[in-house]
Amino acid sequence: MTPRVLPYLLALALTVVVLGVGAAAFAPPAAAQPAPAQVKPLPRSATPAGKDVSDRDVVTKRDAAGQVPATGKPRTSTGTALAFWLFAAITIGGSIFVITRKNLITAVMGMVGTFFGLAALYMLLYAHFLAVIQMLVYAGAIMVLFVFVIMILNKPEDEPYATKGRAGKAVAGLAMAYLIYRLASVLLSVDRNVTAAQLAAPAPTAEGYDWGSTAAVGWNLFNEYLFPFEAVSILLLVAVVGAIAVARPLKDDDGEVLPPGDGGRGAGGA
Amino acid sequence: MLMNIGFGHFLVLAAVLFAIGAAGVLLRKNVLIIMMSIELMLNAANLTIITFARMHGDLGGHSFAMVVIAVAAAEVAVGLAIVVAIFRTRRHADVDKLNILKH
C-alpha cells in the first residue's frame, strides 16, 4: 500500500465505521405517527393583527393561537430528509477534503463547504440566528484569516501526513480506536425512535419570540448568559492584542527589523 | 431511518465530523491543517450543542454555541499569529520539526 492512499483509506474507513454504527443505532423507520397535541404555529398571515402592529405583539397572539391543537395531517419530512442528507454529505465531504488534500487552498475550500453545510444544518435545527452567525464568522472571517496566512506562508507541503516514528503512529492509532469506541458506545445509546415531536416545529419561547430567532437568542443571551457574553468580549480583546503582539516582526533594540530565517538566534546573541 | 430525520441523525453526523477532525489532528503534520481540524471538532461540538438545545427546548444552548464560536475565532486569531511568527523565524510550519524545546 503506497503511503499516499493511506490517509484516504483511513478517513473512508473511519467514516464507514461511524456511519455504520450510527445506522445500526436506528430502528427501522417508525411510521411518523401524528401527534395530536402537536403545537403547530399558524402562518403569519393568519394572525388577526394588522401589518403596523409591532412584531412582538403579532408573535404573542400567534403563540396564543398556536395552542389550538393542529388537526389531521402530520408534518411531512421528505423535504427535510433530502435537505439533511444533502447537507450532511456536503459537511462530511468537505471535512474529508480538509484532512486529505495536500494543497492548503483546496483544504480551505473544503472547509468552506463544511461550514456552509453546517449552517444549513443549523437551519434544519431551527437555529436561524446561529446559522447566519456561522456563515458570517466562519465562512467570512475565519476563512479569510486562513487564506491570508496561507498566502503569506506560500509554501507547499511536502508530506501529506505524519509518518515519523512507529511509536507515534501506534499512539495515534490507539487514540483513534479509543475515540471510535467511545463514539460508538455513545451513539448506540442514542434514542432510536424518531417521534413526531422531533419532527414538529418548536414552540415559541416564553417571551413569545420564534424559537431560535435573533430576538429569542438575544433575550436568552442578555438575561441568563450575560456574564459569559461579557467574558467573551474581554477574551476577544485579549486575543486581538495577543495576536498583534505575537505576529509583529522581530525588532532589536534599535528598532531595526531583524532578517528572518536565522531561527531568532541573531537577537539572542546581540 | 432515511426519511425521518430525528435528533439522533444530527448527533451521529456531529460524531462523524468530530472523528474526522481528530483524525486530521493525528494524521497531518502541517500546522494549518491541524488548526483547520481543530475548527472541525469545535464545529462538531457546536452541532451537538445546538441539537441538544432543540431536544430540550432550551435556548441556552444557542447562547453557548455563540460563545463557542467567539472562542474559536479568538483561538484562530492567536494560533495563526503564532504560526506566522514561527514561520518568520524558522521558515517552515511542520510540527514534527518544531522540537527545539526538547533539547
Q: A159-165 — which CB contacts under 8 Å span 24+ positions?
A: A159/B29, A159/B94, A160/A4, A160/A7, A160/A100, A160/A102, A160/B28, A161/A3, A161/A6, A161/A7, A161/B27, A161/B28, A161/B29, A162/B26, A162/B27, A162/B28, A162/B29, A162/B96, A163/A3, A164/B96
Residues A178 and A242 in one domain: no
- Residue A218 in any domain: the answer is no
- Among the partner-chain residues B1, B18, B32, the one whose CB lies closest to the CB of A149 is B32
Strand partners, B30: B94
- Residue A215 in any domain: the answer is no
- Residue A216 in any domain: the answer is no
- Residue A33 in any domain: the answer is yes
Higher pLDDT, A39 or A182: A182
Q: What is the C-alpha to C-alpha distance for residues B18 and B10, in angstroms, rounded to an integer?
A: 12
CB contact residues (below 8 A), chain B span 28-47, against chain A: 28-30, 32-33, 35-37, 39-40, 43, 46-47
Residues A154 and A185 in one domain: yes
pLDDT over threshold 80, residue B65 = yes
pLDDT over threshold 60, residue B66 = yes
In the block, which residue shows the cell 464568522? A137
Whether the CB-CB separation of A244 and A236 falls below 8 Å is answered with no
Domain hosting residue A248, numbered range? 225-270
Considering only CA atoms, which of B31, B30, B9, B12 is closest in space to residue B20?
B12
pLDDT over threshold 70, residue B91 = yes
Mean pLDDT on A51-80: 47
Residues A123 and A253 in one domain: no
- Among the partner-chain residues A95, A108, A217, the one whose CB lies closest to the CB of B62 is A217
Domains assigned to chain B = 7-94 (1.10.287.3510)
pLDDT over threshold 80, residue A24 = no
Q: What is the distance in angstroms between the Cα of A32 and the nearest Cα belonging to chain B?
A: 8
Whether the CB-CB separation of B32 and A155 falls below 8 Å is answered with no
Residues A86 and A194 in one domain: yes
Between chain A and chain B, how many beta carbons pairs sit less than 8 Å apart? 291
Model pLDDT, residue A16: 66
Q: What is the C-alpha to C-alpha distance for residues A179 and B62, in angstroms, rounded to an integer?
A: 26
Mean pLDDT on A138-145: 88
Q: How many domains does chain A have?
A: 2
Q: What is the C-alpha to C-alpha distance for residues A23 and A193, in angstroms, rounded to an integer?
A: 12
pLDDT over threshold 70, residue B30 = yes
**pLDDT grade, residue A201 (50/70/90)?**
confident
Strand partners, A257: A251
Interface test with B, best of A14, A19, A86, A91 (most B CBs within 10 A): A91
Lowest mean per-residue pLDDT among A54-63, A196-205, B12-21, B34-43: A54-63
Q: What is the C-alpha to C-alpha distance for residues A247 and A148, in angstroms, rounded to an integer?
A: 13
Residues A31 and A101 in one domain: yes
Query: Amino acid identity of A99?
Result: I
pLDDT over threshold 50, residue A74 = no
Model pLDDT, residue A264: 45
- Residues 6+ away with beta carbon under 8 Å from B38: B21, B25, B75
Question: Tens of pLDDT along A113-127?
Answer: 999 999 999 998 889
Backbone angles phi, psi at A202, to 5 degrees: -70, 150
- Residues 6+ away with beta carbon under 8 Å from A251: A257, A258
- Residue A172 in any domain: the answer is yes
Mean pLDDT on A15-44: 49
Residues A82 and A141 in one domain: yes
Question: Tens of pLDDT along A202-252?
Answer: 777 777 788 888 889 999 899 989 999 999 999 999 999 999 998 887 666
- Residue A67 in any domain: the answer is yes
Model pLDDT, residue B103: 65
Mean pLDDT on A185-189: 78
Q: Which residues of A230-265 are buried (b: 16+ CB within 10 A; e: fewer)?
A: eebeebeeebeeebeebbeebeeeeeeebeeeeebe
- Residue A49 in any domain: the answer is yes
- Count of residues in chain A: 270
- Among the partner-chain residues B29, B53, B60, the one whose CB lies closest to the CB of A225 is B60
**pLDDT grade, residue A78 (50/70/90)?**
confident
- Residue A219 in any domain: the answer is no
For A151, the grid coordinates are 498566502
Q: What is the distance in angstroms between the Cα of B58 and the nearest Cα belonging to chain A?
A: 9
Residues A253 and A199 in one domain: no
Question: Tens of pLDDT along A144-179?
Answer: 988 988 888 766 555 555 556 677 778 878 888 888
A45, A154, A229, B81 from B75: Cα distances, Å? 45, 22, 16, 10
Whether the CB-CB separation of A241 and A154 falls below 8 Å is answered with no
Question: Tens of pLDDT along A25-36?
Answer: 544 444 344 444
Residues A206 and A95 in one domain: yes
Q: Which residues of B5-25 are buried (b: 16+ CB within 10 A; e: fewer)?
A: bbbbbbbbbbbbbbbbbbbbb
Q: What is the C-alpha to C-alpha distance for residues B77 and B71, in angstroms, rounded to an integer?
A: 10
Residues A128 and A253 in one domain: no
Backbone angles phi, psi at A11, to 5 degrees: -65, -40
